[in-house]
Amino acid sequence: MNLHEYQAKELLKTYGMPVPPGIAASTPDEADKAAATLGGTAWVVKAQVHAGGRGRAGGVKIVKSSKAAGEAAASMLGTRLVTAQTGALGIEVKRVYVEQACEVAKEIYLAALVDRSIGRVAFLASSEGGEDIEEAAAAAPDKIHKLVIDPKTGLNDTDAKALAADLGLSGETADAVATAMAAVYKAFLENDASLIEINPLAVTEAGDLFALDVKMIVDDNAIYRHPEFEKLWDEAEVSAEEIEAHRHELNYVPMDGNIGVMVTGAGLALAILDMLKDQGGEAANFMDVRPVATREQVAAGIKMLLANAKVKAILVVTIGGGVLRCDTIAEGIAIACKEAGNHVPMIVRAAGTGKELAELALNNQGVQVTYATDLAEAAQLAIIAAGGT
């Protein structure tokens, strides 16, 4: 799960990472008061949405008075922020973060993440921090420095200082960076992070460090060890259907097409999206059902597709294995159609364990479906049913 900037900063502060004073606000009035409470002469008002690229999209404003802070908040709150990472619909801004502005001499990029290819935690750092880090990195990959951590020995202070030196830092600033890295590493391990990205990590004229923006992702699979994060699950930010999907353990992402898709298995689901696209169709969503799904969870997923006015046809692709059975999927479809109607054409491609029982279940419940025998036919039938290419 993603933490908001203000949540991540609050957490990192407890590990000793210097962050500017700041207060979250849900109304313009609160933002105004927050600036006044914080004191100082300049503040940054930042939309708290789970997406990068806020600066360019108008989600970050520098203000010189508390009134202006309130006005900046008013311009953001309730609007949908569209950044390069949000998709066309953008994300509604429910909360802003008001923070004391600080003078910045240098912007560093510092991130800790799990390096998949070697299975270890690694630090990435660049002396060229800021909003354009991705482009900068693509243009000059040699400017990205990497430090891989051996889990047996942990982060070594010498290595951390060497990385700081690579960034062109020295003296107390380099020491401060090494200290910050230690804090980040500790926070990373103790909170089951899969990413802590500080960008920029500001160096002031005085040589002091401040984490100006923090993105932090916590491993969903480890949330059970951190019940405190469950509370931070920011339902307000995601759509009602995403909340519904999450509640039913469905892996769901809305898309722009007209074919509602439910697939058992993420890889197969991706393959179906590719096949639809190749044949000129467009999925309305990505929806992956876990092997341990119940028929009620499946029903919830199908009902979401049936409730989506964009969806002109539904494609269900399932391969029964040793755990998931096709008839569980079929029962879910039947429940959903009974409750929400069977008003869009339904294409089903069932194979493997429980295939025959699945067909019996749908037949017995009077659910009208068209069967496809293979993936290609399934995609084709769904596209035709949705109105053709």
Partner 1 sequence: MGILIDGDTKVICQGLTGATATRLSERAIAYGTKMVGGVVPGKGGQSHLHLPIFNTVAEAAKETQPDASAIFVPPVTAAAAMIEAIEAEIPLVICVTERVPVLDMVRVKSALEGSSTRLIGPNSQGVITPDVCKIGVMPERPHTPGRVGIVSRSATLNYEAVDQTTTVHLGQSTSVGIGGDPVYGMSFIDCLELFFADDATEGVILIGEIGGTAEEEAAAFLKSASSTKPVVAYVAGINAPTDRRMGHAGTVDVFGEGNVTAKIEALDTAGAIIAPSAADMGTTMRKALGGR
Q: Does 357 bind partner 1 (CB under 8 A)?
A: yes
Q: Does 189 bind partner 1 (CB under 8 A)?
A: yes
CB of 41 to partner 1, least distance (A): 30
Residues 6+ apart with CB under 8 A from 239: 254
Q: Does 232 bind partner 1 (CB under 8 A)?
A: no
Total count of residues recorded for the chain: 389
Q: Tell me the sheet residues that pair with 52.
A: none
Q: Does 235 bind partner 1 (CB under 8 A)?
A: no
Which amino acid type is present at position 84?
Answer: A
Q: Does 240 bind partner 1 (CB under 8 A)?
A: no
How far are the Cα atoms of 169, 193, 231, 234 from residue 8, in angstroms, in the given order? 25, 11, 14, 13
Q: Does 351 bind partner 1 (CB under 8 A)?
A: yes
Helix (H, G, I), strand (E, B) or coil at 322: coil
**Residue (69 or 276) nearer to partner 1, CB:** 276
10 Å CB burial of residue 20 (0-12, 13-18, 19+) is middle
CB of 126 to partner 1, least distance (A): 9
Map residues 24-63 to x or -, x wherever contact with partner 1 holds by CB under 8 A: --------------------------xxx-----------
Q: Does 128 bind partner 1 (CB under 8 A)?
A: no
Q: Are strands 193-203 and 106-115 parallel, antiparallel or unpaired?
A: antiparallel
CB of 69 to partner 1, least distance (A): 25
Stretch that binds partner 1, among 13-21, 117-125, 162-170, 307-315 (CB under 8 A): 117-125
Whether residue 99 contacts residue 20, with contact meaning beta carbons closer than 8 Å, is answered with: yes
Q: Does 384 bind partner 1 (CB under 8 A)?
A: no
User: CA–CA separation, 332 vs 317, rounded Å?
Assistant: 13
Whether residue 318 contacts residue 327, with contact meaning beta carbons closer than 8 Å, is answered with: no
Q: Does 219 bind partner 1 (CB under 8 A)?
A: yes
**Residue (179 or 353) nearer to partner 1, CB:** 353
Q: Quick one: which of 14, 41, 142, 151 contacts partner 1 (CB under 8 A)? A: 151
CB of 264 to partner 1, least distance (A): 6
CB of 196 to partner 1, least distance (A): 9
**CA within 13 Å, CB half, 324:** 24
Q: Does 105 bind partner 1 (CB under 8 A)?
A: no
Alpha helices in 191-294 (DSSP H): 227-230, 240-247, 266-278
CB of 199 to partner 1, least distance (A): 8
| Total residues interacting with partner 1, rule: CB under 8 A | 88
Q: Does 336 bind partner 1 (CB under 8 A)?
A: no
Q: Are strands 259-264 and 313-320 parallel, antiparallel or unpaired?
A: parallel
